[in-house]
Chain A
Amino acid sequence: MAINDSNIDCYTVEVEKKTPDSSKITFSVYDDNRDLAAFIEHNNKADAEEALAAFSTVTPLAFSLSEAEENSLSSEQAYLHFPENPSRQVIEQAINTLLEHMESKGYSITARRNDWQ
Chain B
Amino acid sequence: MTNESSIIKGADYALLDEAYSYEALWLREKASFKSIASLFQSNPGKRPSDLVTEYERNKAKNELVGKLSMEFISKIGISINQSKSYPTQLRSAVNPIELFYYKGNIELAKSRTIAIIGSRKVSEEGKQRAHRVAKVLCQSGFTIVSGLAEGVDVHAHLTAMKYSGNTIAVIGTSLDTFYPKQHKKIQEQIAAQHLLISQVPFLRYHNQDFRVNRHFFPERNATMSALSEATLIVEANDRSGTLTQAKHAIKQNRKLFILNNCFEEKANSWPWKYLELGAVRVKEPSDIIDNLNGTRK
Contact = CB atoms under 8 A, between A and B. Distances in A.
A46 to B, nearest CB: 20
Contact of A28 (B147, B153, B211): B211
A13 to B, nearest CB: 12
B272 to A, nearest CB: 19
B211 A39 contact: yes
Interface size class of B (residues with CB under 8 A): 20 to 34
B111 to A, nearest CB: 24
B217 A30 contact: yes
A34 interface: yes
Interface in B203-217: 209-214, 217
Contacts of B240: 32-34
Contacts of A83: 181-182
Contacts of B182: 81, 83
A39 B213 CA distance: 10
A37 B217 contact: yes
A73 interface: no
Nearest to B239: A33
A34 B118 contact: yes
B151 interface: yes
A10 B241 CA distance: 12
Nearest to B214: A30
A33 B242 contact: yes
Nearest to B238: A33
B121 A87 contact: yes
A33 B179 contact: no
Contacts of A111: none
B236 interface: yes
Interface size bracket, A side: 20 to 34
Contacts of A78: 210
Nearest to B121: A87
Could you tell me the dominant secondary structure of chain A's interface residues? strand
A33 B120 contact: yes
B180 A81 contact: yes
B198 interface: no
Tell which of A35, A79, A83, A85 has the most Cβ of chain B within 10 Å: A35
Given A39-B211, A79-B210, A34 B151 contact: yes
A85 B120 contact: yes
Given A85-B151, A87-B121, A32 B217 contact: yes
A32 B241 contact: yes
Given A33-B119, A85-B180, 19 more contacts: A1-B209, A9-B214, A9-B241, A28-B211, A32-B218, A32-B244, A33-B121, A33-B237, A33-B241, A34-B118, A35-B149, A36-B120, A37-B214, A39-B211, A41-B211, A81-B181, A82-B180, A83-B182, A85-B151
Interface of A: 1, 9-10, 12, 28, 30, 32-37, 39, 41, 62, 77-79, 81-83, 85, 87, 116
12 contacts: A10-B211, A33-B236, A33-B239, A34-B153, A35-B147, A35-B214, A35-B241, A36-B120, A37-B213, A37-B214, A78-B210, A82-B180
Sort A-B residue pairs by CB-CB distance and give the 10 closest, nearest first.
A32-B241, A34-B241, A33-B240, A30-B214, A35-B217, A81-B181, A39-B210, A1-B209, A85-B150, A77-B210
Interface of B: 117-121, 147, 149-151, 153, 172, 179-182, 209-214, 217-218, 236-237, 239-242, 244
